[in-house]
Amino acid sequence: MKILKFGGTSVGSVESIQAVLQIVKQTYESGEQPLVVLSAMSGITNLLTKMAEDAAAGLPFMDDLKSLETKHFDVVKKLIAVKYQNPVLTKLKLLVNELEDLLQGVFALRELSLQSKDLILSYGERCSNYLVSKIMEQEIPESEYINASYYIKTDSNFGNAHLNETLTNQLIQALAQTHSGKLLFVTGFIGSNEQGRVTTLGRGGSDYTAAIFGSVLNASAIEIWTDVNGMLTADPRVVKKAFSLPVLSYTEAMELSYFGAKVIYPPTMVPAFMKKIPIVIRNTFQPEFAGTRIQFESEKSGYPIKGISSISDVSVINLTGSGMVGKSGFSGRLFTLLAREQINVILITQSSSEHSITFAVNPNDAHKAVQLINTEFELELLANKLSVPVIEVDLGILAIVGENMKRTPGMSGRLFHALGRNGINVRAIAQGSSEFNISVIINKEDLAKALNAVHDAFFAELKKTLYVFNVGTGNIGATLFKQLHKQHDFLLEQNDIEIKVVGISNSRKMVFNQEGIDLSEWQEQLENEGTAADLGSFIQAMQAMNLPNCVFIDNTASKLPSTYYEEIFKSNISVVTCNKIANSGSYEQYKCLHETARKHGVDFFYETNVGAGLPIVRVLKDLMLSGDRILRIEAILSGTISYIFNNFKGDASFYDVVKKAQELGYTEPDPRDDLGGIDFMRKMLILARDAGYPLESADVQLGNILPERCLQASTVDEFYTELLKAEDYFNQLKKDAEEQGKVIRYIGSLENGEVKISLQMVDEQHPFYALSGSDNIISFCTERYKDRPLVVKGPGAGAEVTAAGVFADLVNVGA
Ligand code: ADP
Ligand code: ASP
Ligand code: MG
């Protein structure tokens, strides 16, 4: 025989009840002899609790009672043939009337004992099982409703009663004998004490009922039917990427559920374990899926852990003091005291010096626990051997679980790295001596972020999600969105990276969408759904969303975003930017930003600050990191100037070439912004700093291309007039170069900590001789690349290549 237990979510509506009946019928007809255990209809136990508490507080409860009645009656009307409805409705009405009497009693006395509450709660399971058994009876006449409170005997610990195994065994066995051949619908969750008063087995306790029946009746399996595909690697409501686990050991399932995986009630594992009966968690709404099998042996899964679970609200009590040192009885006394008063201690950690004990409890128990401690340890407190216990609130627990953990080194490293990188502060750590679990206490508000970050860290083969906030939607921003949109599927399939742009702002508007903005229509979304742009609020919203693997992209050319970088790093968010302003400002700022990013374990990537998408910053960094030493860097890092000197040959006049460059859009509106070398200077400064030199922009020796009078001109037109007048100067330069078989190049160099940018003539031996078009080129002469320098060359400007560089930085975040 087999136990089929259906949770509240499986008996929540007409449709779901039909799905349940289908599964029961199939099992029954296959000759499996199922015994069915049902929970109350979904939401009913909570509703009963509310009504009871309202009644005790003198508040009205009749509306709620009416809705409870309607919820059950509706099912009768839809699923029972009209001619059979009456007796069922009458019986249900009787139950509802009894319930009303009980609630009236509570209301009159303004008192709700745990005993009365259990009795009131029992009506949920009694109504649902009676109802569903009657529906099934229409097709399977052997169906029969069983009130399990007559068969499950417990102590009098109302609300969370403990099983009396011997008595229960006898009663269930007798039931099986007298009801052989029947299809039983047994109430989950409830039992009764020695005096026959109804008790409950704890919230979620119907799973436990199923296991108790399964164990006594030696079932071949205990199937827990719910609304998800088995036990998942994490709570699917929080971690969207959680996936179903095919096999778990009892211990693993126990640990996961103890630390919050609600899908199965932890005590359920005990009776099943004792008899090695497999528990199978299955989805009522996807019955073809095999679900999760919980069995004696753990199975290797290819992942170092099985799952991650969490408890979202705990309080932590800290006890410190010399009174605890070497006193072996201290913790014994403490925890006996708490156990005696029924305070459940969720987790304990003790410092190795025994100077402090930290333990976590349900927030409702915290004050009581402290009062008990104050009384029990009064003498120690008076003698200052113990300091006054401190309660910390609004905390949560995250636990990673798996039997393979003990054979795999580096588990806690990986856990703490994921937490640290995302700025999640760990308040306390506990590792079970079994090494099946490592638990950390963190702020409650960080739980969702932590669960996702840790899930990404341990199930790395799964796709990693980067959450992007982008400011700047000009040429580069817009091109980046186009590229991200186009590459989305490829990245996901080939590299397991999903990039979600969750915030976009330009200077006018900003828009957010945590699910990811559709990049095929970001303009419309920004226009139609966006609010007035404000960088401060944009950054606040980004911080408030508290997402893991979060990246801020600055695709602007303005200074304002860079003033926020430091704060962004401090929120453990990485920055990717093509904006040079931050890195080419004061050295102090450069240093501060780099240090802050490092301290917070996040990335600061700006490959496109130098040579657009060309790998220059990265190459320099790799050379430095691998211990190479830079002897000399030479570079041409202005596409515009490159273009001009590449075309200034033969008969061409300098004036014409500059004009043409401007017409082609290669220059700034005022060509002097390029020819003045400032932009080039910034790039060289960044490289020098990255190479380890603490330089300021004033330290760069910037040689002029243009004669003084051209620079002095007050308008662009006047500049061109002066340029025409300087024709002889430029022709002379060209002639000199041509006579020597050389070409003119505007070259930046870094050597011995000095940066110079100047016009030079180079012969064909020089790597820069053959530079064409508007290309950039850089040569690194290092200890390792001494005889033949390492050269990077290619297009160093343009929206496509720059956006591609930003894209490359982005996918490298966190790598
Ligand atoms: P039932 O009504 O069937 O007893 P529960 O609500 O008690 O269902 O438990 C099922 C729910 O548990 C799922 O809907 C899911 O949201 C939640 N849950 C939390 N953690 C996990 C997990 N690790 N795996 C599966 N479900 C989980
Ligand atoms: N109905 C009870 C509850 O909601 C028992 C259960 O669903 O397992 O806690
Ligand atoms: Mg449940």
Residue 461: pLDDT band with limits 50, 70, 90: low
Atom of ligand 2 nearest to the CA of 124: 1
Rounded to whole angstroms, how far apart are CA atoms 683 and 680? 5
Range list for CATH 3.30.2130.10 in the chain = 307-458
Higher per-residue pLDDT: 417 or 56 = 56
Relative to the alpha carbon of 7, which ligand is closest? Answer: 1
**β-pairing verdict for 754-762 and 701-702:** parallel
Q: Which CATH number does the domain 464-598 belong to among 2.40.50.1040, 3.40.50.720, 3.40.50.2300, 3.40.50.620?
A: 3.40.50.720
Atom of ligand 2 nearest to the CA of 205: 8
Nearest-CA neighbor of 208 among 242, 259, 168, 244? 168
pLDDT number for residue 658: 93
For ligand 2, whether the C-beta of 7 sits within 6 Å is yes
Name the active-site residue from 683, 735, 742, 786.
683
Rounded to whole angstroms, how far apart are CA atoms 559 and 127? 67
Atom of ligand 2 nearest to the CA of 8: 7
User: Considering the domain 2-227, what is its CATH architecture?
Assistant: 3-Layer(aba) Sandwich (3.40)
pLDDT number for residue 435: 72
Q: Would you say the pTM of this structure is higher than 0.75?
A: no
Residue 799: pLDDT band with limits 50, 70, 90: confident
Residue 752, exposed/middle/buried by CB under 10 A (0-12, 13-18, 19+)?
A: exposed
Q: In the sheet where 630-636 sits, what is the strand order?
A: 701-702, 754-762, 743-751, 630-636, 775-782, 790-795
For ligand 1, whether the C-beta of 240 sits within 6 Å is no
pLDDT (average), residues 718-742: 93
Range list for CATH 3.40.1160.10 in the chain = 2-227
Is it the case that residue 99 has pLDDT exceeding 60?
A: yes
Q: Quickly tell me which residue has 């039917």 as its tokens.
A: 225
CA distances from 554 to 43, 516, 609, 708, 813 (A): 47, 18, 12, 36, 14
Element (H, E) at 368: helix 363-376
For ligand 1, whether the C-beta of 204 sits within 6 Å is yes
Atom of ligand 2 nearest to the CA of 201: 5
Q: What percent of the chain has pLDDT over 90?
A: 75
pLDDT number for residue 685: 97
pLDDT (average), residues 423-428: 90
Q: What is the DSSP string of 375-406?
A: HHTHHHHHTTSSPPPEEEEEEEEEEEE-GGGG
CA distances from 459 to 79, 292, 812 (A): 44, 18, 18
Is it the case that residue 450 has pLDDT exceeding 90?
A: yes
Q: What is the DSSP string of 656-704?
A: HHHHHHHHTT-S-SSTHHHHT-HHHHHHHHHHHHHTT----GGGSEE--
pLDDT (average), residues 447-465: 85
If you measure from the C-alpha of residue 6 to the centroid of ligand 2, how many angstroms do you get, rounded to a whole number?
10
Range list for CATH 3.40.50.720 in the chain = 464-598
CA distances from 719 to 133, 658, 673 (A): 95, 11, 12
**pLDDT tens-place string over residues 373-398:** 999 999 889 988 888 999 999 999 99
pLDDT (average), residues 733-757: 94
- Lowest mean pLDDT across 515-519, 794-798, 809-813: 794-798
Residue type at position 134: K
**pLDDT tens-place string over residues 139-158:** 999 999 999 999 999 999 99
**pLDDT tens-place string over residues 631-689:** 999 999 988 888 899 899 888 999 999 999 888 877 777 888 888 888 899 999 999 99
Rounded to whole angstroms, how far apart are CA atoms 695 and 698? 8
Count CB neighbours of 272 within 10 A. 27
pLDDT number for residue 572: 85
For ligand 2, whether the C-beta of 291 sits within 6 Å is no
For ligand 2, whether the C-beta of 203 sits within 6 Å is yes
683 is catalytic: yes
Range list for CATH 3.30.360.10 in the chain = 617-797
- Give the total residue count for the chain: 815
pLDDT (average), residues 193-209: 97
- Lowest mean pLDDT across 23-27, 133-137, 770-774: 770-774
If you measure from the C-alpha of residue 262 to the centroid of ligand 1, how many angstroms do you get, rounded to a whole number?
5
pLDDT number for residue 432: 66
Rounded to whole angstroms, how far apart are CA atoms 400 and 437? 5
List the structure tokens of 401. 């679980």
pLDDT number for residue 328: 64
Q: Does domain 617-797 have CATH number 3.40.640.10?
A: no
For ligand 2, whether the C-beta of 618 sits within 6 Å is no
For ligand 2, whether the C-beta of 8 sits within 6 Å is yes
If you measure from the C-alpha of residue 28 to the centroid of ligand 1, how many angstroms do you get, rounded to a whole number?
26
List the structure tokens of 196. 């026959």
Is it the case that residue 463 has pLDDT exceeding 70?
A: no
List the structure tokens of 419. 């937490």
Nearest-CA neighbor of 563 among 599, 539, 533? 539
**β-pairing verdict for 356-361 and 345-350:** antiparallel
Rounded to whole angstroms, how far apart are CA atoms 523 and 534? 18
**pLDDT tens-place string over residues 167-184:** 999 999 999 999 999 999
Q: Which CATH number does the domain 307-458 belong to among 3.60.20.10, 3.30.2130.10, 3.30.479.10, 3.40.50.970?
A: 3.30.2130.10
If you measure from the C-alpha of residue 452 to the centroid of ligand 1, how many angstroms do you get, rounded to a whole number?
17
Mutate to test the pocket of ligand 2, among 16, 206, 213, 264 (most ligand atoms within 8 A of CB): 206
If you measure from the C-alpha of residue 216 to the centroid of ligand 1, how many angstroms do you get, rounded to a whole number?
26
The gap between the terminal CA atoms of the chain, to the nearest Å, is: 52
**β-pairing verdict for 497-505 and 509-512:** antiparallel
Relative to the alpha carbon of 118, which ligand is closest? Answer: 2
Is it the case that residue 325 has pLDDT exceeding 80?
A: no
Residue 704: pLDDT band with limits 50, 70, 90: confident
Mutate to test the pocket of ligand 1, among 189, 226, 265 (most ligand atoms within 8 A of CB): 226
Residue 354: pLDDT band with limits 50, 70, 90: low
Mean pLDDT, the chain, integer = 93
Residue 288: pLDDT band with limits 50, 70, 90: confident
- Compute φ and ψ for 631, nearest 5 degrees: -95, -45
Q: Do 632 and 751 touch, CB atoms closer than 8 A?
A: yes
**pLDDT tens-place string over residues 221-260:** 999 999 999 999 999 999 888 888 989 999 999 999 999 9
Atom of ligand 2 nearest to the CA of 189: 5
At 6 the three-state DSSP class reads strand
**pLDDT tens-place string over residues 525-565:** 999 999 999 999 999 999 988 888 899 999 998 999 999 99
If you measure from the C-alpha of residue 4 to the centroid of ligand 3, how many angstroms do you get, rounded to a whole number?
13
Q: Do 689 and 583 touch, CB atoms closer than 8 A?
A: yes
- Lowest mean pLDDT across 86-100, 507-521, 652-666: 652-666
